Chain A
Amino acid sequence: MGVAVLLKQVPDTTAKISVTGGRVDESSITKWSISPYDEYALENAIKLKESGYGDVVVITCGPARASKCLTEAAAVGADKLIHVVTESGSLDSIQIQALLSAAVKESSCDVVMCGKQAADTNSGSTGPGVASALGYSCVGAVTEVSIEGNVISATRLGPLGLEEVEVETPCVFTFDKGDTELRRPNVRGIMMAKKKPIDSLTSDDLGVDTSNSMVSVESHSSPPEKPPGQKFVGAESVPAVVNMLRNDANVI
């Protein structure tokens, strides 16, 4: 019993990204945050806890800086903090999922929540991958959950539209942004969170081999700059612009 929340620390979505020497310059990123969809996972996990379902264990996989997102989660109510310490950006999806799955197993949580994708790569591989690795069920793009016994009802955006589904634990839920309001930490929460111990684990502790990544970054680059566009003043310029869209750009 209990809910494990998988958090990823990413550059804040307002951060500028600069590339130096073929790599994103992480040192120039001034603000790191919990990936936005993961925040919805955390909020829903805390709600589940408030309805009586075990503790909330937050787990992150990443370099030293990532421990900050665990403390932020503790400030709004996470009970136990696990940091799987790895180098930044060197692991493939199988290795990351193996590390996270091993940490979930250690936590003995039978409900796992995370964002439907992280704001850095927008991949969305982790939730379903961890579910497959653990042999759990998986429900994606969820906005709300409620539990009765070991049956969880969830609202999800499926391929056919918004649906209410039921699933038994153990299960992984990946969260979309819904109507859920995120709670903000209060001063007491922030003070308590600073004292909360973080359980740091290495790949050796978890018995996962991370030596041979099948994926390696060759280069990063900035998106090509667009040539400056043409600017017109007033609605009377609309016909001329429509003409250019049709005859020069050929898009309408």
Chain B
Amino acid sequence: MSTTVISESSNNSLHPITAQLVGAASALGGSITIICPGGIGATDAAQISGVSKVISVEGGCFNTYDCIAWSESLSPLVKDDLILSSSSAMGRELISSIAATKGVPVVQDVTNLAEGLLVTRSIYSGKAIEEVRISSPCAISLRTNSFEAAGGGGSAEITTVNVSRDITVAVKQALTKAGERLDVSEADIIISGGRGMGEPSNFSHLYEVADALGAAVGASRAAVDTWDDIPHSMQVGQTGKTVTPNLYIAVGISGAIQHLAGMRSSKYILAINKDPEAPIFSVADYGIVATWEEALPVLKDQLSEILSS
């Protein structure tokens, strides 16, 4: 089966998920074409092993994000029976629109892809797993870090196409820039705080640990709902983000069912909570019954010690 991969970019360069999309496509066999919206990362995309062709799509509409203008520019270039994208917010939106334009079904946030096409995804934010059969032609978005990335060393031909549809969504003003900090949906390690942190200013202690670990900082719904300073973009759980990092550290989070749904698939979970009966301990690989005031300073010291040695 031949596949078109819609590349993902961040900070004007190719996002590593693109190589994971190629890895997933390679396992199915057939030729692989990468489409790079705005031409971003085309040279790097051509070096991913197993890619036959890169289409660098350049045009004025790629200067800002307009889902429909992008999809109308890209859709005519998609010739394959399988379309893959990342399941980032933009990846999902764009592939939905491309799928609708091409009249093919879309299945989102897939964690396993097998011939036939048999795909696996979690539903109810991880409270259940669903296996779905989907007939091609179709579009599928894949969850970050669920597929082995293809290696480098490729040398695919790059074709540049100039195409630009009219923008209908005009950006008037940038209000706040995307966080300098790593987003929870991108991170290998997450440290999250709940209402047990007492005050939003106490999240500074979580940031200190996060800095030592190169981790992202998340929050429970209770913390987001209680404190205006903790934005919804940090929320992990069923009405926030579903995350699967290698290590999830929950601090002062009791573990409501919505929160557990969003983080229980993490590879390892460390919970720090003063209440020995907190439900968070039921999913934790390592639980420490202590207040954050007692535990975080020790954690920070230990980390700086071992990470600097």
CB within 8 Å of B: which residues of A?
A: 11, 13-14, 16-17, 19, 24, 36-37, 92-94, 97, 116-117, 119-133, 136-141, 153, 155, 157-168, 171, 174, 176-179, 214-223, 226, 229-239, 241-242, 244-246, 249, 251-252
Contact = CB atoms under 8 A, between A and B. Distances in A.
Contact of A120 (B65, B92, B124, B233): B124
B93 interface: yes
Contacts of B127: 16-17, 223
Contacts of B100: 93-94, 97, 128-133
Given A160-B65, A177-B239, A251-B267, A231 B283 contact: no
A239 B67 CA distance: 49
B203 interface: no
Interface stretch (B49-57, B146-154, B172-180): B172-180
26 contacts: A13-B125, A93-B96, A93-B100, A120-B123, A123-B108, A127-B93, A129-B100, A131-B67, A138-B67, A138-B169, A139-B169, A153-B172, A159-B89, A163-B174, A166-B170, A177-B239, A215-B133, A216-B132, A218-B118, A222-B129, A233-B290, A242-B299, A246-B306, A249-B267, A249-B268, A252-B189
B134 A242 contact: no
Contact of B122 (A136, A223, A232): A223
B129 A215 contact: no
Interface residues of B, number: 92
B169 A167 contact: yes
B28 interface: no
A92 B137 CA distance: 13
Contact of A129 (B106, B130, B179): B106
B286 A251 contact: no
Nearest to B294: A235
B309 to A, nearest CB: 11
Interface stretch (B156-164, B194-202, B257-265): B257-265
Contacts of B176: 161-162
Contacts of B134: 92, 214-215
Given A138-B67, A140-B67, A157-B233, A17 B169 contact: no
Contact of B168 (A127, A137, A220, A235): A137
A237 B172 CA distance: 53
A229 B286 contact: yes
Given A132-B71, A242-B303, A223 B265 contact: yes
A215 B107 contact: yes
Contacts, number: 280
A226 B283 contact: yes
Of the listed residues A157, A168, A222, the one surrounded by the most CB atoms of chain B closer than 10 A to its CB is: A157
B213 interface: yes
B170 A14 contact: no
A221 B307 CA distance: 40
Nearest to A130: B100
Contacts of B94: 128
A132 B109 CA distance: 20
Given A125-B99, A128-B93, A133-B100, A214 B105 contact: yes
Contacts of A234: 288-290, 294
Of the listed residues A123, A157, A176, the one surrounded by the most CB atoms of chain B closer than 10 A to its CB is: A123
A211 B272 CA distance: 52
For the complex of A and B, the 9 pairs showing the least CB-CB separation, nearest first, are: A132-B100, A235-B294, A92-B105, A129-B100, A161-B178, A123-B108, A231-B287, A17-B127, A162-B175
B174 to A, nearest CB: 6
Interface string B242-281: 1000110000000011100100110111100000100001
